[in-house]
Structure 1
């Protein structure tokens, strides 16, 4: 069932109200140094064998005349990342074995554990963006009432949700086969992601 935020997004798309458009959204991206973290397979969550989690802190500038979620949606879509959604982050450990994911915080603040139960906890705030390679465990631990995340996916790959040890055998085969995205979801073709997620030789 669509949430209030989903309905708001539909209206904005239909009317263009409070949306920057893809070109203006690109202008709202702030140049930030990527923070990278690699995680080992923890027995339940494989994580990615080569590629790190990437976090860009305060990477999106917001304009009070625009809806923050729409800004992030238009920015991701301008860089080829689509199938956007608006929500929180599931409160259980999960990962995607056949697709990468990007999470942009539009409002509020939340604590998220990346890497599985033995991973690390990060506080994400409005304007922060996390880019997760296939296999990267993630779980929402706590959030304020304002916390709103926009998620998106690159054009290659298929959405799935893995949560159990039974998912592992297939996931271990599919995760390394998910190709690197052509563009960084925040900075486009020239962004840091291309160097940080190099294809295996």
Structure 2
């Protein structure tokens, strides 16, 4: 899968899973290729559509597309890559940030 992405000028490849919280890349597109296993992924933020992805599937995410893994088989493996250009600039959604602040044990009530 890495060879296919790199042949089409998508580089800075990685192999891992997909975060379990909504996140997005504000300045760069991302391609996700499922190398192994199966998982349920939501694209489009907290109210986005849920897809079951399996080995061989590829998703291309325009910059700013929120995504998160809702379920993954134990062997779920994703290959990701980015087009030439700015850094990945991963960010969490605003809802995630507010919830994280509310759950922070260091904050007084």
Q: Which has the higher strand share?
A: 2
2:2 alignment partner, SS class: helix
Q: Which has the higher helix share?
A: 1
> Greater Rg, structure 1 or structure 2?
1
Instruction: Specify which structure has the bigger relative contact order, considering alpha-carbon pairs within 8 angstroms and separated by 6 or more residues.
Output: 2
Give 5+ residue unaligned stretches, structure 2. 96-109
Match of 1:124 among 35, 40, 53: 53
Equivalent in the alignment of 2:26? 97
1:95 alignment partner, SS class: strand
1:104 alignment partner, SS class: strand
Equivalent in the alignment of 2:76? 147
Q: Distance in 1 between matches of 2:3 and 2:69?
A: 24
Equivalent in the alignment of 1:134? 63
Q: Distance in 1 between matches of 2:90 and 2:48?
A: 18
Normalising by structure 2, we get a TM-score of: 0.84
Give 5+ residue unaligned stretches, structure 1. 1-71, 167-201
The Cα offsets for residues 141-187 of structure 1, whole Å up to 9 and x where unpaired, read as 10111110000000022211111439xxxxxxxxxxxxxxxxxxxxx
CA contact (8 A) 1:100 1:157 kept: no
Q: Distance in 2 between matches of 1:126 and 1:164?
A: 27
**Shift, 1:74, TM fit:** 0.6
CA RMSD of aligned residues (A): 1.2
Q: Give structure 1 regions of 4+ aligned residues with deviation exceeding 2 angstroms.
A: none
Equivalent in the alignment of 1:34? none
Equivalent in the alignment of 1:79? 8
